[in-house]
Structure 1
Amino acid sequence: MTSAVSSERRPDLDWIRVGAFFLLILYHVGMFYVPWGFHVKSPHPVAALEPLMLITNPWRLTLLFLVSGAATRFMADKLSAGGLAKARTARLLPPLLFAVLVIVPPQTYYEIVEKLGYSGSVLDFYGKYVTASGHWRPDGEPLITPTYNHMWFVAYLFIYSLILAGLLKVGRGAVGRLEAGLERALSGWGLLVWPMVCLIVLRMTLFPIFDITHALVDDWYNHALSFGVFVFGFLTAKSQVLKAAFIRVRWPALILALLGYGAYVAIRMAYRGDEPAPDAVLLIARVAYGVDQWGAIAAILGFGAKHLTRGGPVLTYLTLGVFPFYIVHQTFIVVAGYHLARLDLPQGLEAAILIIGTFATCLLTYEIVRRVNLLRPLFGLKPTPPVRGVEVGGNRPEIA
């Protein structure tokens, strides 16, 4: 039987979401330096960063989609299916369109300047960007514009929310039964075993066929993974049974995550050159990836449920700031990284400037946006209704 639960939001999930986005910002700073593809790159790549980047690589975005599904559950229980679709559209679509037309274009501009030696004016670039007439091919691949770049997460979340609203329209009564079924299936060690098996199977079957593209129409491994955990988060958000189960398995989950990480990184480092890994080694790597992926997520959820039990004004402030931070962070990293690379600073100093500058820009943007009612919807914040001539804030963003 499904346990009774509070209708209030869970502070542990809010803290986890804030922490995950904090790591995401650091990860994107790392993308400027690690020898992987990115919009602009440091002229001095740091191969030693790869194992550090791989600490969060398997689970960071999967965790974000899971807690996004959980947050959607708290919204959905207060709204009709149509109301949920309308609320998610109002919250997610304006920032997405605004980012595509205003925030993201500098990323594309500096990418073609660096990779293609583009010398046209900014106005000339923007005209080609919005009309998809640039025909740019950095790295040999066509650069389709307008584009959403890092805002793919919001685009996918928007689509998933609408799909979920449609499912609730015809089957809201099944939510409780599905939740109870998950509680039974994931009892005991099932919470560690069955989600891990699902992630491993996806990695072994769909990933070799559909690499992650973020292009919406051909991203089927990513959809199966991200929408799957989004629905999982939705169904389990209010289950006290599963919350307690995550607490019980947190230490075994952490051990499994570390073992999976060690095996996966060892294989990645051993076959980082041109020589392809044998099929048997690839199989082990995919199993290790799934073990690390779910082990880390289960451990984070377990430790969070155990220790992150208090909310308060700091959490409210940070939770409200997550969406504005997310929207602007990558554009600053790309623009500042491009210019910093040409100053020939010591790399440690350069990285410190880039990290501090990114967070400072995010914070300044948030402080401005939350005070200007016209800007708030463009950054995922509800307009503040006037009360006796004074604007009051405090409404929570529900993007994640």
Structure 2
Amino acid sequence: MQPSLPSNTSPVLPHPAPTGGTSTRRHDLDWLRVILFGLLIWFHLGVFTFWLFPDEEVPLSVLFVVDVMHQWRLAALFLISGMGTAFAFRRRDVKTFLNERLVRLGVPLLFATYVLLGGLLAPIETLWLLLVPFPGSDAMPYAHLWFLRNLLLYSVMLAPLFAYVRSNPESGPVRAARWTVDAGQGLALIAVPALILATSAVFTKPWHSGEVGMWWEFPHYFLFTLFGYLAIQTGAAWFERIEALRWWLLVTTLPLSMLWFSIKHDGPGGLMEGGWVAWGRDPFSVLTTGGTILQTLHAWMWCLLIFAWGARLLNRESRALSWLNEAVYPTYIMHFHITFPWMFIAAIFGMSWWTSTALGTPFVVAGVLACFVLFRRTAYLRPLVGLRGGRSEVEKIWPFTTTEDRGVRILLHLTTHAITGVALIVLMVLAVLTGFVDV
């Protein structure tokens, strides 16, 4: 009994972006986090409904956008996660940090796996598949929440380094990060991380294709998380450098995407996906090494491009930003429970892909935001979807702010829990009826 999920699914859940290189909060990281999630909804809705095209022939323009986006959207989110972790660790010791990660990542992971995705129907099998390092996209019981699992594992793996760097702020990793930012007027910042990513991929890609954060993708995204953490250790220098490179990155990254796309689709099969040893090919060759270097450089340059223009245009506070930023966690967890019913609706009405995407995107956005509004007001369910605080936080929100009467507030709490509970049951039933969860 596993959720039905295509192999290139991905979630969006980096930590909230905290302060910037000094004491000023970097609002661009918060905005990027929100924007990337918005793109995630479009991406998943679009990819899962390719069958709506006549004869399932996807137009080249759509395929180009989807393929290129898939190379950097996850990488950028892990990069933001590493940055958020860097700030979170400044105020915590190792034990406190890991305990918080277990609550913020582990609790929603278990809740979604066992309740939202039906793992309680086969608890022993679900537990086993949770513990298997790489169960495969068809067997993983946590579906799109693999991001949470990976991020939790990365947090545990990197915690000793975080503690070491905090105790030794002039240590080797920090000096290396500063040198990478400063050397060659930005050339080292482009080349060094890309070569590190390529080295990892060269030695891991031949043996198995990448699957939603598994196999060669596991160390790949681990490195992006690490790079995000180290970027913050340079203070404001990392952001200043990439912002200065923004036009150069714009001019060079888009042609690089066209080269990457043409090689992916016209070159040898599996070159970008990995796992070519299973096809009887040599694990290492000039072709596979060159293709891997191109792929990692392409992903890294897109991340630099996004963060560069984000630093330039998005480092601005907004009244809506804090609300949207808080919404990312629960809406990420719930978005497939809205996406699959829409796919069912699109099929019933015989919509084209373009119509389904145009109407379905606002439908899913509205649905997940409605889920957030409910969970936000449901004191004892908030931690299950990654929201901080409990009753005291809820009572700062309407309609609780309209009364000081204890009896009325108790009635409001009971009402919000009942409404949210019913909504969860309806969504879980729909997940089964539409084929998202297989029972």
TM-score after normalising by structure 1: 0.79
- Size of the aligned set, in residue pairs, is 353
Structure 2 counterpart of 1:28, one-letter code: H
Establish whether residue 32 from structure 1 lines up as the match of residue 25 from structure 2: no
Structure 2 counterpart of 1:47, one-letter code: V
Query: Which residue is 2:6 aligned to?
Result: none
SS at match of 2:205: coil
Residue 227 of structure 2, aligned match among 213, 232, 237: 232
Query: Which residue is 1:54 aligned to?
Result: 67
Query: Which residue is 1:38 aligned to?
Result: none
Query: Which residue is 1:180 aligned to?
Result: 175
Residue 253 of structure 1, aligned match among 234, 241, 249: 249
Distance 1:293 1:183 in 2: 21
CA contact (8 A) 2:329 2:385 kept: yes
Distance 1:175 1:54 in 2: 39
Distance 1:11 1:306 in 2: 11
State the Cα distance separating 1:198 from its structure 2 match.
2.1
Residue 378 of structure 1, aligned match among 368, 384, 403: 384
Residues 207-260 of structure 1: CA distance to partner in whole angstroms, max 9, x if unpaired?
222422347xxx342222111111111121252112211111222222332122
Establish whether residue 295 from structure 1 lines up as the match of residue 301 from structure 2: yes
Residue 102 of structure 2, aligned match among 89, 104, 119: 89
SS at match of 1:211: coil
More RCO (CA 8 Å, sep 6+) = 1
What pairs with 1:199-278 in structure 2 (closer than 5 Å)?
A: 199-214=197-212, 219-237=214-232, 239-271=235-267
Establish whether residue 333 from structure 1 lines up as the match of residue 336 from structure 2: no
Mark the CA change 1:357 to 1:236 in structure 2 (over 3 Å): closer, same or farther: same
SS at match of 1:391: coil
Mark the CA change 1:336 to 1:104 in structure 2 (over 3 Å): closer, same or farther: farther
Structure 2 counterpart of 1:255, one-letter code: V
Residue 65 of structure 1, aligned match among 63, 78, 81: 78
CA contact (8 A) 1:257 1:291 kept: no
CA contact (8 A) 2:239 2:311 kept: yes
State the Cα distance separating 1:100 from its structure 2 match.
0.6
Residues 103-154 of structure 1: CA distance to partner in whole angstroms, max 9, x if unpaired?
334xxxxxxxxxxxxxxxxxxxx77544539xxxxxxx99436x01110001
> Which runs of 5 or more structure 2 residues have no equivalent in the other structure?
1-19, 127-135, 399-439
Structure 1 counterpart of 2:28, one-letter code: D
Establish whether residue 348 from structure 1 lines up as the match of residue 342 from structure 2: no
Structure 2 counterpart of 1:366, one-letter code: F
What pairs with 1:113-124 in structure 2 (closer than 5 Å)?
A: none
Mark the CA change 1:262 to 1:231 in structure 2 (over 3 Å): closer, same or farther: same
CA contact (8 A) 1:259 1:292 kept: no
TM-score after normalising by structure 2: 0.72
Distance 1:92 1:144 in 2: 21
CA contact (8 A) 1:186 1:194 kept: no
Query: Which residue is 2:428 aligned to?
Result: none
Distance 2:101 2:238 in 1: 27
Establish whether residue 154 from structure 1 lines up as the match of residue 170 from structure 2: no
SS at match of 1:231: helix
Query: Which residue is 1:45 aligned to?
Result: 56
Distance 2:245 2:263 in 1: 27
Structure showing the higher helix proportion among its residues = 2
Distance 2:368 2:45 in 1: 13
Residue 37 of structure 2, aligned match among 21, 33, 41: 21
Structure 2 counterpart of 1:259, one-letter code: P
Distance 1:211 1:346 in 2: 31
Residues 155-214 of structure 1: CA distance to partner in whole angstroms, max 9, x if unpaired?
111111122224334553235433233111332221112112223333333222242234
Residues 336-364 of structure 1: CA distance to partner in whole angstroms, max 9, x if unpaired?
31453243234433333322221111110
Distance 1:213 1:265 in 2: 19
> Which runs of 5 or more structure 1 residues have no equivalent in the other structure?
36-40, 106-125, 134-140, 394-400
